[in-house]
Amino acid sequence: MIRFLALGLVYLAFFTAQGQTKNFSGELWSSIPLGTTQESDFVILASGEKVFGRVVRSYNLTNYAEVIFEKDGKQVTYTPGELEGFGLDNGQLFYSRVLPDGEELIFLQVMVSGAIELSKYRGRYFLDNGSRFEELKAKYEDVIINDRSVKRFAKPYIATLKQFLTGECGVVRYSEIDKLPFGDQSFVRIVQEYLQCSNQSFEFHLSKIPLVQVSPIFGGGFSYFSISPEENYIDQANQLGAHLGYFGFVGVRFHELRVLPRFSTELRVAFSFFETELASSYFNNTVLVTGSEQLKETAVYIPWSFQYSILKQSQVEIYAGLSAGLWLGKVTTSGGIVDEELLSRNEIRISEQSITNPLNPKFIPGLKLGSNFQLKGKGRFFTELEWTSQGGYYQFSLINRSSEYARQRLSVQFGIEF
């Protein structure tokens, strides 16, 4: 009896260390078809049959309620109950399972597999050692401190990690676990370190998915410049003749963030050229003053923008965003002429003098709306509409009158992302 009990304990210990619901290192879960070296998406039907094809997706999704699978030009939609699981050519693996507190099958993403499995579903994380399947929980809770109710971030996941990461390799990491942030990178790192220390084999199923994709961009477009008064005399008017300027830009886009796939950010350097004529005037009961001047501006514009994808599919993306940057401009004036007509004496005085004093503030905030389209290969063509505003950009002076104007810029831009 004692002998059988001992054998049972040995078996239980072995199962706890090695047993898994799935063996993701086997051929069944490989993304490489036999006889090829090219990785491919695949699904494993509930019957156990494996089919290679393409999982239709807009970007590096981590949550799937259903799977649209394309094979030989035909698309089929699968639910978790119809699949054992599926894999993507970028290394991601998903399998059908019921969560510890759930009742229905869902597609659970595998992050690390081995003696301990780390998985994820909609921002929730789970550990499985073959005998226990538990969630790594974190939550905000109300606590009373000095008779005041405050919110505190509770970390039950710390105790759960210590329960799973046992033995000497776990104990030496307890101080690190106590400070461990809640998220993908920290959980993956601590589980990997533990399995390496324990000399247990494991696989990392996110290695082919970068934290962020970096894409160079270039393009150009045209801008419509307009001005609006800030503080000016009510009898003074100023307006621009030509409104169109031109620019080109280069930059880099950071997108497909693993944690926030709908967000992206860009840093650009643009070179702008704008040439126009200013017409300025004011009058009262005794005098009418008019003036004109040629303005020529060259500028380096360095915007940093943040975008959110409203619609994000493989072929098309629509996004909106905010931008802020530096406008390093140089305005050159020439040909300034002022006509002063004294109405009471019917006398006209003409003088050559500059009318424009460019204040040229360097900070320039803005809004952006854009879309991009898939080209052949990996390139994408994008179009954008951007609006920016610069307060106190110009100061216009006519003899004893002066006023400050803000400048607005509405630009249409086109470009290629590689």
> Which residues have a Cβ under 8 Å from the Cβ of 290 and sit 6 or more positions away?
279, 280, 281, 338, 339
pLDDT computed for residue 296 by the predictor: 97
H helices then E strands: how many in the chain?
A: 5, 24
- pLDDT tens for 66-82 read 999 999 989 999 999 99
pLDDT computed for residue 60 by the predictor: 65
| 3-state helix vs strand vs coil in the chain, percent to 5 | 15, 55, 30
What CA–CA distances, in Å, run from 155 to 5, 126, 179, 182, 188? 37, 14, 10, 8, 17
| 301 — pLDDT class (breaks 50, 70, 90) | very high
Nearest to 305 by CA among 361, 387, 393: 387
Q: What is the C-alpha separation between 346 and 200, in angstroms, rounded?
A: 100
pLDDT computed for residue 152 by the predictor: 80
DSSP state of 211: S
> Maximum distance among all alpha carbons in the chain?
128
Flag whether pLDDT at 4 surpasses 60.
Answer: no
More confident residue, 10 or 258: 258
pLDDT computed for residue 312 by the predictor: 82
Q: What is the C-alpha separation between 254 and 264, in angstroms, rounded?
A: 6
Residue corresponding to tokens 């003088």: 351
Task: Average the pLDDT over 288-312 and give the result.
Answer: 94
- pLDDT tens for 325-383 read 999 999 999 999 999 888 878 888 899 999 999 998 899 999 999 999 988 767 899 99
Flag whether pLDDT at 298 surpasses 60.
Answer: yes
- pLDDT tens for 106-134 read 999 999 999 999 999 988 999 999 899 99
| 10 — pLDDT class (breaks 50, 70, 90) | very low
Residues in the chain: 418
| 8 — pLDDT class (breaks 50, 70, 90) | very low
Q: What is the C-alpha separation between 57 and 389, in angstroms, rounded?
A: 38
The pLDDT mean for the chain works out to 88
pLDDT computed for residue 1 by the predictor: 44
CA torsion 167-172-178-183 (nearest 10°) is -80
pLDDT computed for residue 63 by the predictor: 83
- pLDDT tens for 21-61 read 578 888 899 999 888 888 899 999 999 999 999 998 866 67
Q: What is the C-alpha separation between 259 and 262, in angstroms, rounded?
A: 9
Flag whether pLDDT at 95 surpasses 60.
Answer: yes
- pLDDT tens for 200-254 read 989 988 877 777 889 999 999 999 999 999 875 556 789 999 999 999 999 999 9
Terminal-residue alpha carbon distance, the chain:
69
What CA–CA distances, in Å, run from 15 to 96, 128, 130, 163? 21, 12, 6, 16
